[in-house]
Amino acid sequence: MNSEFRVRELLLGIEGLALLRHAVDGDDAFLRARVADIRRFAAEERGPEELPGDGSAISELDATAGYAAWSTVYDSLPNSYIEVEEPVVASILDGVAPGVALDAACGTGRQTRALTGRGHHVIGVDQSPEMLAKARANTPEAEYRIGNLEELPLADDSVDFAVCSLAMTHLPELTAGAAEIARVVRPGGRIVVTDLHPFVVALQGQCFFVNGSDDLAFIRNHVHLPGRYLEAFGQAGLRVRACHEPLFNGRLAPGGYEEFIGDAARAAWDGLPIVIVWDLEVPA
């Protein structure tokens, strides 16, 4: 795909966001440091060789190519989104009786593993063969199928529970994905949908990861405000039990462009929700 970002502009954006959010009540030394960094980056006083990834372009990959590449490192890097999401999801899973469960867009199978460990028979579905291979190796006792969120390879009313983690943000619109998940869950069943919080997607946008040795790439996210989720869930006949919005925990991905300006990045995201977790049910 032709779309691409550059590291220098990303650094400037994070510095500017940190400055904007703390301009009124921030420490003077912190604010001066942000202004100084912005001046240096804007004046290109730091050469490309001093920037993460040598300041090279960040290429966009579609979901197929992106997750094929990302699968090689997905489980090995700290991820603040997963770290704040998992305790919320775990508390919901602990209250769900074992049954037949769907892990939609299962990726490398972290929710598949969590569900299997709680006694569910799990069907993991993902569009990426590479991700499914990782999931199968991680939790071989589960069942796996190739498929996408908008056309799940399951019969109507065939599972008791479904989870879809950090995936619907890749869809340009939510209606079809929500309807498909609702279609396969039996009346009285439960659904958990988690996603990048629209604040994060609106401010930063994309899923950046290291592609190959040190090149950065991203997979497109779309901004879906809470009202859009509610509209899609309502059209699918789902009832919202709860909505959780866990906050940024201070973790930055090691070696990434944000760690390069850690003080600014932590200040930019401090106190913001970075994940949204929907606890849903199919009316009996």
Which percentage of the chain shows pLDDT scores above 70? 81
**Burial category of 78 from C-beta neighbours within 10 Å (exposed 0-12, middle 13-18, buried 19 and up):** exposed
Domain 4-71+78-281 in this protein, CATH class? alpha beta
pTM of the model: 0.89
Distance between CA atoms of 256 and 259, rounded to whole angstroms?
5
Note the pLDDT of residue 57.
Answer: 59
Among the ranges given (25-34, 70-79, 201-210, 257-266), the one the predictor scored with the smallest mean pLDDT: 70-79
DSSP state of 246: P
Token code pair at residue 227: 């009202």
Mean pLDDT of the chain: 88
Tell me: pLDDT of 152 over 90.
yes
Which whole number is the average pLDDT over 79-87? 91
Which residues fall within 8 angstroms of residue 187, CB to CB, at 6 or more apart?
Answer: 157, 282, 283, 284
Tell me: pLDDT of 87 over 60.
yes
Which whole number is the average pLDDT over 89-106? 97
Note the pLDDT of residue 1.
Answer: 39
Confidence label for 48 from pLDDT (cuts 50, 70 and 90): very low
**How does pLDDT run across 2-30, given as a tens digit for each residue?**
445 577 888 899 999 999 999 999 999 99
Note the pLDDT of residue 2.
Answer: 43
Which whole number is the average pLDDT over 40-68? 64
Distance between CA atoms of 206 and 210, rounded to whole angstroms?
13
**Among the listed residues 280, 69, 75, the one whose alpha carbon sits nearest the alpha carbon of residue 185:** 280
Tell me: pLDDT of 78 over 80.
no
DSSP state of 112: H
Note the pLDDT of residue 125.
Answer: 98
Distance between CA atoms of 136 and 171, rounded to whole angstroms?
25
Which whole number is the average pLDDT over 252-268? 83
Q: Which amino acid is at 159?
A: V
**Among the listed residues 193, 130, 184, 137, the one whose alpha carbon sits nearest the alpha carbon of residue 157:** 184
Note the pLDDT of residue 68.
Answer: 67
**Burial category of 223 from C-beta neighbours within 10 Å (exposed 0-12, middle 13-18, buried 19 and up):** middle
Phi, psi of 125 (to 5 degrees): -120, 135
Among the ranges given (112-126, 156-170, 183-197, 253-267), the one the predictor scored with the smallest mean pLDDT: 253-267
* Residue-range domain boundaries for the chain: 4-71+78-281
Tell me: pLDDT of 225 over 80.
yes
Which whole number is the average pLDDT over 54-67? 65
Phi, psi of 253 (to 5 degrees): -65, 130
Distance between CA atoms of 47 and 53, rounded to whole angstroms?
12
Distance between CA atoms of 225 and 162, rounded to whole angstroms?
22
